[in-house]
Amino acid sequence: MIHVTIYQNKRREYTGFTTYGHAGFSDEGQDIVCAAASVLIINTVNAIEKFTGDKTSLVSDDAEGVIDYSLKERPSKEAELLLDTMVLGLTEMSDDENYAEYIDLTFEEV
């Protein structure tokens, strides 16, 4: 199962996330749930880096499926939109009866 914890500040702005695990929906290289979650997450990290000036921190371990990503300050409007979009996609996946058992999404105030 993919576990994703989304971090929010007191203003309910997303400030980062931690992911770990693999979906286990199918064999490696054929797992559409893992691929979909990975695209959402990695594209968000890349887009924030390319299209915003936000300062960030990233720690990852591909073998373990770990990504620990955080903004060092309040998110810019652009970063906020990108994180909102990622959370929307992950929420849709975790709410879908076909994929809910493969992704666990939680929210935590920091």
- Region 3-20: mean pLDDT is 97
Q: What is the pLDDT of residues 77-101, one digit of tens each?
A: 999 999 999 999 999 999 999 999 9
In this prediction, residue 1 carries a pLDDT of 94
Distances (CA, A) of 7 to 3, 39, 60: 13, 19, 17
pLDDT at 108 over 90: yes
Q: What is the pLDDT of residues 14-34, one digit of tens each?
A: 999 999 998 989 988 899 999
CATH superfamily of 2-109: Cysteine protease Prp (3.30.70.1490)
Helices (H), the chain: 32-51, 77-95
Per domain, the residue ranges of the chain are: 2-109
Q: What is the pLDDT of residues 38-82, one digit of tens each?
A: 999 999 999 999 999 999 999 999 888 799 999 999 999 999 999
In this prediction, residue 29 carries a pLDDT of 86
Read off the amino acid at residue 65.
G
Maximum Cα–Cα distance for the chain, whole Å?
40
Q: Against a cut of 0.85, is the pTM above it?
A: yes
Which pLDDT band holds residue 11 (cuts at 50, 70, 90)?
very high
Strand order in the sheet with 103-109: 56-61, 66-71, 14-20, 2-8, 103-109
